[in-house]
């Protein structure tokens, strides 16, 4: 086994990096790419000697280095470099653009004389990565509406990188702009460090991968914070211990593994402003730098821990004195698995009166659905906004109302028209989300109160039906396999059905399925039987009706 400590750019320049053909696809979401850009930008601003990007695990396959762990960072850094190359091209600096291209992005194989990418992704992702990221002016490459989920993520992350860099240099004059871009390249090549572990075979690489991802890594971070706080406590060590162990005891109720570091990050965001995990220790050290500072921080840490456990556990006793819809809102929020809003949820739980918290949590459900469906995947990109709101709740007593929050977030949300338009063409690949949307729409249609707060998790009795099956055999009605594949994940093609009916219907033809739909207790499902034929037009018509209902189900405005 070999190991080295070098700049991630130096590793990319060396080239001959390849993600194994059958390894998982690119998985980063836009917020992950944005976090990396922000972190690198901050390292550049503070002129840090080195910035640690983690560990990359490789195996040597006949001279080609296969990437076992680190694909996301390597690919995203390559996006940044490709963007810098294109920014040089925009100002006519062909020499620097070519230098970037020939060092970081491509190399010539002297055996075959072919030009090859320094980083080759897996079979499914690489062509798109090459044509839409690495090649010159690739942001203008035509987009295929039928791209896979991973290539859609590549496109979204590349767009985020380009938006970030454009904003970073947009105000600079040409000379300063060039120096800024060169500084980014220098940072990436030399100061953005990774530990490179080169294993002799896949078995050794797997063992290293498991070790690196072991939960003990987070435990050691928590121990580092604990030891710092105890060390600064001096004669008040017993108070500090009470704060720490009371927090640990409260968090155990949440049942979330490794929750200490997550909780401390949310606490620091509320108290001081947006805090990312790698900044956590520095943030605590700067604000709790004395004995009294440690005691004040520890007291906050102790008293807010119960609230964190409560937002992670809807059945927590804290909610006994709150309206019953609070528990349903928190349960609904778990459907989305959106962690970026948790510091705001925690701030509301800690500071808001019960009725205000109830309304705020209901608003959060609408916000997230509108962000997922109607705001081009910005659900994670508004973390800065969530953080500012959470900190303002902490700092400003007059801001502790649900409607104050809603006023501030509105510019980030899709309008009713935008939401309706986006909902009418939405695709949903996650069954859990599809079931939630359909169940909420059904309840809205039948006039139930708070229909958006009752996720249908009864998967044993109610199934998710695909009218055009996920795996049709041959042509399906008038649809070719290709046409069917385009429709299968459209929300208008999905329906709720009793398990027995769904299993009996199986992959039958539309005509054979209609009797099951006609007898369904679900109104949206029953209406499917009114169609003579099921095709793209039918799906769009049904989904347009859903979109009209969705605007009322997940509203922008709430009664005071």
Average pLDDT of the segment spanning 470-484: 76
pLDDT tens sequence across 432-443: 999 999 999 999
Lowest mean pLDDT among 273-287, 342-356, 388-402: 273-287
Residue 280 contacts residue 265 (beta carbons within 8 Å) = yes
Which is nearest to 492 in space by CA: 549, 418, 416?
A: 549
Mean per-residue pLDDT over the chain, rounded = 87
Number of C-alpha atoms within 13 angstroms, CB side, residue 467?
31
Question: Which pLDDT score, from 0 to 100, does residue 24 have?
Answer: 80
Average pLDDT of the segment spanning 384-409: 96
Q: Which residue has the higher pLDDT, 106 or 378?
A: 106
CA–chain centroid gap for 185, Å, is 27
Lowest mean pLDDT among 211-225, 260-274, 430-444: 211-225
Q: Which residue has the higher pLDDT, 392 or 91?
A: 392
Q: Is 430 left (phi over 0), alpha (psi -120 to 50) or beta?
A: beta
**Domain regions of the chain by residue span:** 2-212, 216-419, 425-553
Question: Which pLDDT score, from 0 to 100, does residue 141 have?
Answer: 62
Q: Which residue has the higher pLDDT, 111 or 512?
A: 512
Question: Which pLDDT score, from 0 to 100, does residue 212 have?
Answer: 53
Q: What is the pTM of this model?
A: 0.65
Average pLDDT of the segment spanning 342-367: 97
pLDDT tens sequence across 160-209: 999 999 999 989 999 999 999 999 999 999 999 988 888 766 555 545 55
pLDDT tens sequence across 244-266: 999 999 998 777 656 899 999 99
Q: Which residue has the higher pLDDT, 121 or 21?
A: 121
Residue 80 contacts residue 188 (beta carbons within 8 Å) = yes
Q: What is the 3-state secondary structure (H, E, C) of 368-413?
A: HHHHHHHCCCCCCCCHHHHHHHHHHHHHCHHHCCHHHHHHHHHHHC
What dihedral angle (degrees, nearest 10) is formed by the CA atoms of 444, 447, 448, 454?
-10
Quick one: tokens of 63?
Answer: 């001279």
Please list the residues that pair with 476 across neighbouring strands.
479
Structure confidence at residue 215 as a pLDDT band (50, 70, 90): very low
Please list the residues that pair with 193 across neighbouring strands.
7, 52
Question: Which pLDDT score, from 0 to 100, does residue 399 have?
Answer: 97
Neighbours of 6 (CB within 10 A): 16
Under DSSP, is residue 414 helix (H, G, I), strand (E, B) or coil?
coil
Average pLDDT of the segment spanning 65-84: 93
Structure confidence at residue 354 as a pLDDT band (50, 70, 90): very high
In this predicted structure, the answer to whether residue 460 has a pLDDT above a threshold of 70 is no
Question: Which pLDDT score, from 0 to 100, does residue 204 have?
Answer: 59
Structure confidence at residue 217 as a pLDDT band (50, 70, 90): very low
Greatest CA separation found in the chain? 81
pLDDT tens sequence across 370-390: 999 986 555 556 889 999 999
Question: Which pLDDT score, from 0 to 100, does residue 323 have?
Answer: 95
Can you tell me which residue has the tokens 């009209």? 548
Question: Which pLDDT score, from 0 to 100, does residue 253 have?
Answer: 73
In this predicted structure, the answer to whether residue 50 has a pLDDT above a threshold of 70 is yes
pLDDT tens sequence across 503-557: 777 767 888 888 889 988 899 999 999 999 999 999 999 999 999 999 999 999 8
In this predicted structure, the answer to whether residue 142 has a pLDDT above a threshold of 90 is no
In this predicted structure, the answer to whether residue 112 has a pLDDT above a threshold of 90 is no
Q: Give phi and psi for 368, each to the nearest 5.
A: -65, -40
């Amino acid at each position: 086994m070999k190991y080295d400590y070098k700049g991630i750019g130096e590793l990319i320049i060396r080239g001959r990096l390849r993600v194994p053909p059958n390894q998982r696809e690119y998985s980063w979401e836009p917020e992950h790419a944005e976090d990396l850009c922000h972190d690198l930008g901050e390292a550049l601003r503070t002129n840090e000697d080195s910035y640690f990007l983690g560990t990359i695990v490789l195996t040597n396959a006949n001279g080609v280095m296969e990437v076992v762990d680190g694909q996301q960072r390597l690919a995203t850094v390559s996006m940044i470099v490709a963007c810098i190359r294109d920014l040089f091209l925009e100002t006519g600096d062909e020499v620097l653009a070519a230098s970037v291209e020939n060092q970081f992005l491509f190399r010539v194989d002297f055996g075959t004389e072919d030009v090859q990418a320094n980083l080759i992704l897996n079979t499914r992702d690489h062509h798109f990565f090459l044509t839409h990221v690495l090649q010159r002016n690739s942001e203008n490459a035509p987009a295929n509406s039928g791209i896979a989920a991973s290539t859609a993520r590549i496109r979204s992350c590349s767009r985020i990188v380009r938006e970030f860099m454009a904003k970073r240099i947009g105000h600079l004059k040409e000379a300063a702009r060039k120096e800024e871009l060169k500084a980014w390249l220098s940072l990436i090549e030399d100061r953005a460090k990774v530990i490179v572990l080169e294993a002799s075979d896949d078995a050794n690489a797997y063992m290293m991968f498991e070790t690196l991802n072991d939960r003990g890594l987070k435990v050691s971070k928590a121990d580092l914070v604990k030891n710092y706080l105890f060390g600064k406590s001096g004669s008040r060590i017993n108070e500090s211990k009470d704060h720490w162990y009371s927090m640990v005891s409260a968090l155990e109720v949440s049942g979330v593994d490794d929750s200490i570091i997550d909780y401390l990050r949310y606490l620091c965001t509320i108290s001081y402003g947006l805090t990312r995990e790698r900044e956590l220790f520095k943030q605590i050290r700067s604000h709790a730098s004395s004995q009294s500072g440690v005691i004040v921080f520890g007291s906050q840490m102790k008293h807010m821990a119960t609230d964190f456990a409560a937002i992670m556990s809807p059945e927590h006793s804290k909610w006994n004195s709150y309206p019953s819809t609070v528990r349903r809102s928190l349960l609904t929020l778990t459907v989305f698995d959106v962690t970026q809003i948790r510091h705001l949820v925690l701030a509301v739980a800690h500071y808001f009166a019960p009725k205000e918290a109830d309304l705020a949590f209901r608003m959060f459900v609408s916000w997230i659905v509108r962000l997922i469906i109607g705001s081009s995947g910005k659900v994670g990109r508004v973390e800065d906004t969530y953080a500012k709101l959470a900190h303002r709740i902490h700092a400003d007593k007059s801001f502790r109302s649900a409607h104050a929050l809603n006023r501030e977030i509105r510019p980030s949300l899709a309008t009713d028209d935008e939401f309706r338009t986006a909902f009418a063409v939405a695709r949903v690949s996650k069954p859990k989300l599809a079931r939630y949307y359909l169940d909420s729409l059904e309840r809205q249609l039948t006039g139930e109160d708070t229909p958006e707060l009752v996720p249908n998790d009864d998967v044993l009795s109610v199934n998710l039906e695909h009218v055009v099956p996920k795996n049709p055999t041959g042509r399906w009605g008038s649809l070719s396999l290709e046409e069917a594949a385009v429709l299968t994940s459209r929300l208008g093609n999905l329906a709720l059905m009793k398990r027995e009916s769904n299993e009996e219907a199986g992959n039958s033809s539309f005509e054979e399925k209609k009797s099951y739909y006609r007898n369904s207790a679900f109104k949206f499902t029953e209406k499917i039987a009114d169609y003579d034929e099921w095709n793209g037009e039918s799906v769009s018509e049904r989904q347009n009706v859903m979109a009209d209902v969705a605007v009322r189900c997940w509203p922008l405005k709430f009664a005071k």
